[in-house]
């Protein structure tokens, strides 16, 4: 891709050089040979190539650096990267390790049937959390509204 974009931009600069050469030939026909010498055109072409390849190299390097983000399965992410609400909710349940195990298995095998044991472990952990959370909310409700407690 780099070569494609490099030569694509060089083509535009080559057309610009050709247009400037024709402009000088039309506007200054008697001085054309003294203005556009082999040395001056070599410098213009060299600077143009240097500029075009430098710009494409910078753009490609910038795109590559933005493309190299942390893997979603990488647990060593920084705090500013952790704004995924699903990850936050799962980490509050205490089932984050099981969730990561399911993600890693799915990333590796691309088939949920192979990852059944990890999925079942994660499901059991989430069910235990839901049961504990329900009991906690019921106790809290009984403390707040003692007369509306279920019989």
According to the model, what pLDDT value does residue 67 have? 65
According to the model, what pLDDT value does residue 73 have? 56
According to the model, what pLDDT value does residue 22 have? 93
Please report which helix (H) or strand (E) contains residue 50, including its range.
helix 38-67
Residue 98 buriedness (CB in 10 A; 0-12 / 13-18 / 19+): buried
Q: What is the pLDDT averaged over residues 3-24?
A: 85
DSSP classification of residue 36: S
According to the model, what pLDDT value does residue 38 have? 93
* pTM over the 0.95 mark: no
Say yes or no to pLDDT of 126 above 80. yes
Summary mean pLDDT of the chain: 83
At 114-124, the pLDDT tens digits run: 999 999 999 99
* Token pair belonging to 55: 């710009």
According to the model, what pLDDT value does residue 68 have? 64
At 129-145, the pLDDT tens digits run: 999 999 999 988 888 88
At 49-102, the pLDDT tens digits run: 898 888 888 888 887 777 665 555 555 555 555 568 888 888 889 999 999 999
Q: In Å, what is the CA distance from 70 to each residue of 37, 87, 90, 114? A: 53, 15, 19, 25
According to the model, what pLDDT value does residue 9 have? 78
Boundaries of every domain in the chain:
2-67, 79-148
């Amino acid at each position: 891709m780099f070569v494609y974009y490099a030569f694509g931009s060089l083509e535009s600069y080559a057309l610009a050089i050709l247009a400037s050469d024709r402009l000088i030939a039309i506007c200054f026909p008697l001085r054309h040979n003294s203005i556009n010498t082999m040395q001056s055109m070599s410098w213009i072409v060299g600077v143009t190539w240097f500029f075009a390849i430098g710009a494409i190299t910078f753009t490609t390097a910038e795109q590559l650096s933005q493309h190299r983000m942390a893997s979603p399965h990488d647990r060593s992410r920084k705090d500013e990267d952790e704004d995924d609400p699903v990850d936050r909710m799962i980490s509050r349940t205490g089932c984050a390790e099981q969730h990561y195990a399911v993600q890693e298995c799915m990333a590796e095998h691309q088939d949920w049937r192979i990852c059944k044991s990890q999925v079942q472990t994660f499901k059991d952990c989430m069910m235990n959390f839901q049961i504990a959370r329900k009991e906690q909310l019921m106790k809290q409700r009984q403390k707040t509204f003692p007369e509306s407690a279920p019989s």
